[in-house]
Chain A
Amino acid sequence: AQTVTQSQPEMSVQEAETVTLSCTYDTSESDYYLFWYKQPPSRQMILVIRQEAYKQQNATENRFSVNFQKAAKSFSLKISDSQLGDAAMYFCAYRSEAGIIIQGAQKLVFGQGTRLTINP
C-alpha cells in the first residue's frame, strides 16, 4: 500500500519570504500523480499544484513550485513571496493511475499535513 509522510507538523515564515514544505512517499508503482492541497479554516480542500510522475519537469503555478525527485520519492512544495492568505494546512497526496480505465479515478492517499503560519 502507498504511504505519504509529511515530517513537518508546523512551519512558519515571514511575509514575502520563501518557505519549503517537505513530503516523501512510498510506492512500487511507476504511474501516479502527486498533489499539494491547501485547507484553510473554511475546511475546503483546494488544489494548489499537481505533478505527473512521468514528467521530469517540475510543475509550477505562479508563486508555487515543486521539487519532484522520483528516485528519492520526494515531493516538496516551495512557496515564494509568501502572503498572509497562504496560511493554512497543507496536505501532500498521492494518486495511483493503475486500474483507472476500469475502476475510474483512484483514491487519494494523504499525508498528515503541515500547518503553515505567515508572520506579518
Chain B
Amino acid sequence: DAGVTQSPTHLIKTRGQQVTLRCSPKSGHDTVSWYQQALGQGPQFIFQYYEEEERQRGNFPDRFSGHQFPNYSSELNVNALLLGDSALYLCASSRRTGEAFFGQGTRLTVV
C-alpha cells in the first residue's frame, strides 16, 4: 500500500501565479482533506472532499479551490498567489468515519 502520495514535493512560484497540488489517497479511502501548515505552526484546515463534492471549508479565501475525481484523488488550486501562501500543504485521506492518514506534503514557496 503506497499510502497517501502528494506531488510535487517542492514548488517555487512567483506572486500572482497559479498553482495546482495533487493528492492520491490511501487505498480504500474516499475522503480527502487539505491543510495549510505555515512554518512553526499547526496545520490549518482548508477544505474536505467526499463523493466529489466540497463538504466542509475552513477560513480560506475563494482563491483556494479544489476538486475530487471519481478515483478519489484530489487537486488543490491556489490562484493569484501571495507571499503569505508560502507553506507546507498537507493532504490527508480517510474513510468517511475513520482516522486520517497524511501525505508528506508539498512545500510551496512564493517569491
A and B: bona fide binding partners: yes
B50 in contact with A45 (CB, 8 Å): no
Q: Which residues of A contact B31 (CB under 8 A)?
A: 104-105
Q: Fill in one digit per residue for B3-38: 1 if any A CB lies within 8 Å of its CB, else 0.
A: 000000000000000000000000000110101000
B90 in contact with A45 (CB, 8 Å): yes
Q: Fill in one digit per residue for A68-92: 1 if any B CB lies within 8 Å of its CB, else 0.
A: 0000000000000000000000010
Among A14-22, A56-64, A106-114, which stretch is in contact with chain B? A106-114
Q: What number of A residues sit within 8 Å (CB to CB) of B?
A: 24
Q: Fill in one digit per residue for B80-102: 1 if any A CB lies within 8 Å of its CB, else 0.
A: 00000000101010111111111
* Residue of A with least CB distance to B58: A107
B104 in contact with A107 (CB, 8 Å): no
| 12 examples of A-B residue contacts, CB within 8 angstroms | A42-B104, A43-B88, A44-B103, A44-B104, A44-B105, A91-B42, A103-B50, A104-B50, A105-B33, A105-B100, A107-B58, A109-B45
Per the 8 Å Cβ criterion, residues 3-52 of A in contact with B are 4, 6, 35, 37, 42-47, 50
Q: Which residues of A contact B107 (CB under 8 A)?
A: 43
Taking a contact as CB atoms closer than 8 A, the residue among B45, B99, B102 that contacts A107 in the complex is B45
B100 in contact with A108 (CB, 8 Å): yes
Q: What number of B residues sit within 8 Å (CB to CB) of A?
A: 32
If A106-B56, A107-B33 touch, whether A100 touches B42 (CB-CB below 8 Å) is: no
A50 in contact with B99 (CB, 8 Å): yes
User: Interface of A with B (CB < 8 Å)?
Assistant: 4, 6, 35, 37, 42-47, 50, 91, 100, 103-113
A42 to B103, CA, bound (A): 10
Check B73 for interface membership: any CB of A closer than 8 A.
Answer: no
Q: Which residues of B contact A6 (CB under 8 A)?
A: 42
* Minimum distance in angstroms from B49 CB to a CB of chain A: 9
Q: Which residues of A contact B63 (CB under 8 A)?
A: none
